[in-house]
Amino acid sequence: MRNAPRMTGHGGLALALLTVLFVPGISDAQPTSHLVKIGIVNAAVMPPPGVPFPILDAVRGRLRELGYVEGKTLLTDVRWAGGNYDKLPEMARELVKGKPDVIVVIGSKTAELVLDATGTIPVVAITCEPFPLVAALAHHGRNLTGVTCMSPETVPKRLELFNQVVPRATRIAFLYNPLDGEEGLEAAKATAAALKVTLIPVPVRSAADLEPALEVAHRERVEGIFVHPDVLIGPRRARIAEFALQHRLPSIDPFSIFPEVGGLMSYGSSLTEMSRRAAEQVDRLLKGAKIADLPIEQAMRFYLTINLKTAKALGVTIPPAVLLRADQLIE
């Protein structure tokens, strides 16, 4: 499978979506003359000043390309739940008091928890949950659209690729958030059985749970780490990659951000392009599109990224067939 040009280093990934919609190019962007407000709700912990949060950075970057100027024609109100999902409904109610034109939410669990509070304000969800689950949320007149990277749907292929690279790893920690990742765990079980791999579920229910979870994985004598990230686990990829390398554990994640910070490999769609596509949905809504006319979009192309430096440090030899499939090799 080769869905994109081969790259080395830190090249970007591409994301193609099932729904074919017209996407204006940068040169087609028309400056926005009136002030619009966008609310953003995120269950994650707010990163320290200067530390990027790729999803938000991509949304804001695409809106700039489309002619919106932060502080002049665009105001964004970002709310962080600090890893506490119980805060989300009240957070949404407070956000609605500011009368945003559109609300962006990160994660379908977040969307589920805030939809009752958003009323008639259109909601755009950026999520990686199964397409049927996200699409179901938008049914029955719910004021929701968005994009999903379909991470659970790609779990079997991700596990198969991981097994090809490290067939000796027969005890694998499945790092996930039970609030947002049960579908991914279920999707992995049948494939794991066929590969004669034992999955060790390691739940991470809050940001504070990560270090204890990694220690559980170590005590279980796992031979690899399979990361099924959500908004709580995702921002800690660098720490997971560091832990995996320290304990000589091969590791895999859906997104290329992971091997870029030292993880062994990734297989999945592009968070950046998915977030940019959500920004384009926001733009259409701000320009008068009806949310009922903007269907949930899903990823159609997925990319394999391998960190060759990490492979060498772990003593892992990447099979030639896998190297030929790779879309990005980090050296």
Domain identity same for 34 and 125? yes
For residue 242, how many C-alpha atoms fall within 13 Å in the half-sphere facing its CB? Answer: 6
DSSP strands (E only) in 139-295: 144-148, 171-176, 198-203, 224-227, 251-253, 265-268
**pLDDT for 141:** 61
Q: Which amino acid belongs to residue 199?
A: L
Least trusted range by pLDDT, from 70-79, 111-120, 127-136:
127-136
Domain identity same for 112 and 196? no
Q: How many domains does the chain divide into?
A: 2
- Categorize the per-residue pLDDT at 126 as very low, low, confident or very high, splitting at 50, 70 and 90: very high
Mean pLDDT, rounded, for 20-39? 57
The answer to the question of residue 8 being in a domain is no
Cα(143)–Cα(43) distance, integer angstroms: 20
The answer to the question of residue 291 being in a domain is yes
Cα(153)–Cα(183) distance, integer angstroms: 9
The answer to the question of residue 224 being in a domain is yes
Residue 19 CB neighbour total at 10 angstroms: 12
pLDDT tens-digit map of 235-292: 899 999 999 999 999 999 999 999 999 999 999 999 999 999 999 999 999 999 999 8
Q: What is the 3-state secondary structure (H, E, C) of 249-301?
A: CCEEECCCHHHHCCCCEEEECCHHHHHHHHHHHHHHHHCCCCHHHCCCEEECC
Domain identity same for 73 and 145? yes
User: Residue 165 belongs to a domain with what CATH number?
Assistant: 3.40.50.2300
Residue 9 CB neighbour total at 10 angstroms: 9
Q: Are strands 144-148 and 123-127 parallel, antiparallel or unpaired?
A: parallel
Quote the tokens at residue 219. Answer: 């005590």
Most confident of 19-28, 75-84, 198-207, 315-324: 315-324
Contact present, 134 and 296 (Cβ < 8 Å): yes
Rg, the chain, Cα only = 20
Cα(91)–Cα(25) distance, integer angstroms: 34
- Categorize the per-residue pLDDT at 11 as very low, low, confident or very high, splitting at 50, 70 and 90: very low
H/E element, 7 = strand 7-8
The answer to the question of residue 195 being in a domain is yes
Cα(250)–Cα(246) distance, integer angstroms: 10
Domain identity same for 137 and 75? yes
The answer to the question of residue 7 being in a domain is no
Alpha-carbon dihedral of residues 36, 16, 293, 115, nearest 10 degrees?
A: -60
The answer to the question of residue 9 being in a domain is no
For the whole prediction, is pTM greater than 0.85? no
Range of the domain at 241: 151-268+304-330
Domain identity same for 242 and 135? no
The answer to the question of residue 108 being in a domain is yes
Domain identity same for 210 and 91? no
Quote the tokens at residue 211. Answer: 């270090």
Domain identity same for 277 and 228? no
**pLDDT for 28:** 45
Looking up tokens 């733009």, which residue turns up? 283
